[in-house]
Amino acid sequence: MSARAADRHVMEKTAEILRSRLPAGDLKAVLREMDHARRGQKSVERIVAEAENAGRLLRTRVDDADLSRFIVDIAGPDLLACRHLRNVLALRATDDELDRLHDFPGAARARGVSAERIARCVAERNWHPGKRWARHFVSTLGFPPELAGIVGEPGGPDLEAVDPHVPLPDLEDFQEDLRAQVVDLLRAGPGSNRAILTLPTGAGKTRTTVEALTDWWLGERGGDFILWVAQSDELCEQAVQAFKEVWIDSGDPPRGVREPLHVYRFWGGRRSVPDEDGAGVIVSTVDKLRSVLVDGDGGVCRETVGRLVPSIGAVVIDEAHRAEAPSYRKVLAAVGIEFTSAAKSSVPVLGLTATPLRSQHDETLRLARRFYNRLLRPRNLPEDPAEVLAELRSRQVLSRPTHRLLPPTNRAVRMTEEQEAYLQEWKELHPDVLIQLGQERDRNRQIVEAILALDPTWPVLFFGCSVQHAEGVKVILRRRGRAAEAVTADTREATRRHFVRAFRRGEIQVLCNYGVLTTGFDAPRVRAVVIGRPTASRVLYDQMIGRGMRGVRFGGTDECLVIDVDDNLVHLNGRRLETVATQYTEYWAKANG
């Protein structure tokens, strides 16, 4: 049985067990508990029911007979993490089953003998997916073992020693040129040791930079630590993997390295930091560094990190277009770097960014002023960003995108004063505008039909307007026979990694998401990107389409289809709002030029 068929079998069996054990009233209560739509926002159930109802009569609920499967499709392997569901399952269990659940060795006992008290006690026990209690609960009630949940993985230890020995493919000539420029930058003195490195998304910025840092660190080591700062956990993990791969490769000639490289993960709940006499690479989010170095959280952790500051030899800022934000300036100040065009520091600072369009190139030039007006770009590629794209596509470094714009289906969405002010301040659409779009039934039908019309063997990424929107599209696709899952910021880290790995293996065809996977997500064979959320941010749009722009030479595809929705958004003054999707004519025109 294939992995996809096995998953379908598990979900169907789970739905059957729920249906046999719980009446419709209990299932409805569980569904309400699982859906976290805020007041005035449509639930996943309503989004699905409205989109599935092609008739004139509006349906806002799924049929009672479908409730159990609907709940399973929403929750997936984390179904029993819902305490309310465990409580009603325990209440509806047989006396023998409830006794076996209650008598689990080492678990707290109920204060009382009523079924309600015992069920509540059973439900309130800590649920650790994949561990002994979860497995006991599942087996006692006859659920498939997969419903115990995915065991939490640390995603790599806080500290990792990387031994060198496995070769990587050679860098492309433009990457070699950039590597040499970065090494020169790292060797430069104060006043000349900052720069922005730019390459289109998918062209290997991270590996090129890590190769240069490795050369410099092995050769002259201007400090004991390299500090790599990123915006998200995903970008941090991407950097860690790049350092691992490059260091492993460095075991072969000409480097012939034999010592391990210590890479420290310092983000989220990770608190491990190097000793004062250590050396290596510290990879951290800006939020983690701010909370420790600026806000003073972390106690002894703050003192330890503070003592390491004099040993930092170089700083890399991933997604450097964010570097002008106050949070970055505060963090850089905390490590002794004044981030102005005139200030000088002995510590080199390198920013990384992507500039696929001429207009973005102009924005990058303005950003470069903070980096001593130094812009590192491949000297053996055209200077015009659009011509760079054409060249890299012709060399199969990047895929050739095709573009499809779905027509408007919804009535005009006119922004309020608050939403207009938000757009002006943040250069992005207000979350309430996105939520409204994600609830439009005709729009959702059109998006789903567009996805279903794609080759079912294509790996597809879908970007939703909200958590409910991503979940709703996932459920509709599953109910139409497509293998789909959703990941959001609320998804457990272990579950997210499980889904991403399954997506890479082809076991999941459509990976729906909201708020994640725009950066640091490596699934190079994505064949279509469906953007269900409009944006006014060119940076965000480039990150979304960039998930499918890896070419054959870098393990990706020849072509990638990008599907957008031409939403009817209107400014307060009645003028139509142009989203970024309608501004990329140059990008698509160069695809086959």
pLDDT in tens, 203-252: 999 999 999 999 998 887 766 899 999 887 778 888 998 999 899 888 77
Between 228-237, 271-280, 355-364, the lowest mean confidence (pLDDT) is in 355-364
**Mean pLDDT for the chain overall:** 88
Tell me what pLDDT residue 157 has: 63
DSSP H stretches of helix in 35-125: 44-52, 67-75, 83-91, 95-102, 115-123
Sorted by where each begins, the domain ranges of the chain are: 3-148, 159-393, 399-592
Mean of pLDDT values over 136-161: 83
Q: How open is the CA angle 135-479-505, to the nearest 5 degrees?
A: 65
Mean of pLDDT values over 79-102: 96
Tell me what pLDDT residue 365 has: 75
Q: Residue 434: pLDDT above 70?
A: yes
Same fold, 159-393 and 399-592: yes
Confidence band of 255 (pLDDT split at 50, 70, 90): confident
List pLDDT tens digits, range 521-537: 667 799 999 999 999 88
Tell me what pLDDT residue 293 has: 84
Residue 16 to residues 69, 140, 245: CA-CA distances in angstroms? 8, 16, 46
Torsion on CA atoms 538, 540, 544, 545, rounded to nearest 10: 10
Tell me what pLDDT residue 41 has: 87
Mean of pLDDT values over 29-38: 86
In this structure, how many other beta carbons lie within 10 angstroms of the beta carbon of residue 2? Answer: 9
Q: Which two tokens stand for residue 187?
A: 């060797």
Element (H, E) at 317: strand 312-317
Q: Residue 283: pLDDT above 80?
A: yes
Q: Which residue has the higher pLDDT, 574 or 254?
A: 574
Tell me what pLDDT residue 155 has: 54
List pLDDT tens digits, range 564-575: 999 999 999 999
Tell me what pLDDT residue 537 has: 83
Mean of pLDDT values over 70-86: 95
Q: Residue 44: pLDDT above 70?
A: yes
Q: Residue 404: pLDDT above 60?
A: yes
Tell me what pLDDT residue 38 has: 74
Tell me what pLDDT residue 218 has: 87
Q: Which residue has the higher pLDDT, 521 or 71?
A: 71
Mean of pLDDT values over 574-585: 87
List pLDDT tens digits, range 331-357: 998 888 888 878 888 899 999 988 766
Contacts of residue 394, Cβ cutoff 8 Å, sequence gap at least 6: none
Q: Residue 268: pLDDT above 90?
A: no
Q: Residue 154: pLDDT above 60?
A: no
- What is the Cα–Cα distance from 560 to 566, expressed in whole angstroms? 19
Contact 544, 534 (CB under 8 A): no
List pLDDT tens digits, range 469-507: 999 999 999 999 999 999 998 888 888 888 988 999 999
Q: Residue 542: pLDDT above 80?
A: yes
- What is the Cα–Cα distance from 61 to 46, expressed in whole angstroms? 6
Q: Which CATH superfamily is domain 399-592 in?
A: P-loop containing nucleotide triphosphate hydrolases (3.40.50.300)
Q: Residue 458: pLDDT above 90?
A: yes
Burial class of residue 189 (count of CB atoms within 10 Å of its CB; 0-12, 13-18, 19+)? exposed
Q: Which residue has the higher pLDDT, 17 or 383?
A: 17
Q: Which CATH superfamily is domain 159-393 in?
A: P-loop containing nucleotide triphosphate hydrolases (3.40.50.300)
Tell me what pLDDT residue 211 has: 95
3-state secondary structure of 433: helix
Tell me what pLDDT residue 468 has: 94
Q: Residue 547: pLDDT above 80?
A: yes
Mean of pLDDT values over 298-305: 68
Mean of pLDDT values over 579-593: 75
Q: Residue 161: pLDDT above 90?
A: no
List pLDDT tens digits, range 110-128: 888 899 999 999 999 999 9
Tell me what pLDDT residue 168 has: 82
Tell me what pLDDT residue 166 has: 61
Mean of pLDDT values over 26-40: 86
Residue 441: what residue type?
R
Contact 564, 406 (CB under 8 A): yes
Tell me what pLDDT residue 163 has: 63
Q: Which residue has the higher pLDDT, 582 or 123?
A: 123
Tell me what pLDDT residue 470 has: 96
Q: Residue 329: pLDDT above 80?
A: yes
Tell me what pLDDT residue 122 has: 95
Tell me what pLDDT residue 1 has: 64
List pLDDT tens digits, range 166-188: 678 899 999 999 999 999 999 99
Q: Residue 104: pLDDT above 90?
A: yes
* Single pTM value for the model: 0.85
- What is the Cα–Cα distance from 444 to 218, expressed in whole angstroms? 53
SS (H, E, C) 213-262: HHHHHHHCCCCCEEEEEECCHHHHHHHHHHHHHHHHHCCCCCCCCCCCEE
